[in-house]
């Protein structure tokens, strides 16, 4: 079995759907708390979104685990296409409650690519990413009919088990503000 820990980035200085903010002091403390929790297992790889808040979270975790983070654009934040009206935050809030069959095909393809990447992991891996990305991964694994599955708190740890030839299973959802729908 391959262990996967998906960590939502620490609290950032931005407002929902805006820019690429760095972590606040609280966010840095959250990252260190997650790192202490993760130290209980022998992780072999650390992957993150290239966004500032995820990379900074991953760097703090990596120092504790003795791993260097590798930025992977596949794990970037959920983004609208160029033809979407309104702000990115408005778009994100609107997309989360849609049933998967109403989510744009490009996002379903992205979700499938995320799951394929996770199924292909061959070493115990920590992934630091975003709320929407975590939902894109967890929702189909949990059998949710909508994009939104749960609301992971900052630096919560969602644990998956990859069983080559048998798929991916949720071992534990990270601390959240809402249950799976």
- How many domains, in total, are found in the chain? 1
Cα–Cα distance, 121 to 159 (Å, whole number): 14
Who's near 47: CB < 8 A, 6+ residues apart? 58, 69, 70, 71, 72, 75, 125, 126, 127, 128
| CA 38 and chain centroid, separation | 15
**Whether the predicted pLDDT of 79 surpasses 80:** no
| 177 is a domain residue | no
End-to-end CA separation in angstroms for the chain? 28
Judge whether 63 lies within some domain: yes
Q: How confident is the model at residue 31 (pLDDT cuts 50, 70, 90)?
A: very high
Domain residue limits at 159: 2-172
In a domain, 134, yes or no: yes
pTM for the model stands at 0.92
pLDDT band at 181, cuts 50/70/90?
A: very low
Q: pLDDT category, 21, cuts 50, 70, 90? A: confident
Kindly state whether residue 159 falls inside one of the protein's structural domains: yes
Mean pLDDT of the chain: 89
Q: Summarize the confidence of residues 66-70 as an average pLDDT.
A: 98
Beta strands 45-48; 70-71: pairing state: parallel
Assigned domain for 179 exists? no
| pLDDT higher at 15 or 179 | 15
Cα 140 from Cα 148, distance rounded (Å): 10
Q: What is the pLDDT of residues 39-51, one digit of tens each?
A: 999 999 999 999 9
> Residue 74: which CATH number?
3.40.50.1240
- Given the DSSP bridges, would you call strands 2-8 and 125-129 parallel, antiparallel or unpaired? parallel
Name the one residue in this structure whose structure tokens are 């808040």. Answer: 53
Q: Could you tell me if residue 147 is inside a domain?
A: yes
pLDDT tens by residue, 138-151: 999 999 999 888 89
Q: Do the beta carbons of residue 94 and residue 147 sit within 8 Å?
A: no
C-alpha 137/C-alpha 4 separation (Å) is 12
User: Would you say residue 178 lies in a domain?
Assistant: no
- Is residue 181 in a domain? no
């Amino acid at each position: 079995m391959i262990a996967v820990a998906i960590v939502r980035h620490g609290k950032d200085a931005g407002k929902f759907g805006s820019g690429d903010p760095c972590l606040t002091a609280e966010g840095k403390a959250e990252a260190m708390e997650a790192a202490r929790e993760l130290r209980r297992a022998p992780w072999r790889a650390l992957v993150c979104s290239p966004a500032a808040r995820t990379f900074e979270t991953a760097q703090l975790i990596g120092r504790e685990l003795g791993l260097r983070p590798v930025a992977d654009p596949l794990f970037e934040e959920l983004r609208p296409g160029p033809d979407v009206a309104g702000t990115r935050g408005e778009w994100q809030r609107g997309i989360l409650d849609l049933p998967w069959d109403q989510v744009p095909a490009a996002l379903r393809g992205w979700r499938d690519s995320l799951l394929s990447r996770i199924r292909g992991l061959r070493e115990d891996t920590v992934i630091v990413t975003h709320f929407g990305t975590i939902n894109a991964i967890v929702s189909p694994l949990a059998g949710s009919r909508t994009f939104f599955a749960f609301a992971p708190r900052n630096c919560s740890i969602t644990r998956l088990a990859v069983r080559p030839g048998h798929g991916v299973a949720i071992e534990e959802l990270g601390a959240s503000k809402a249950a799976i729908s």
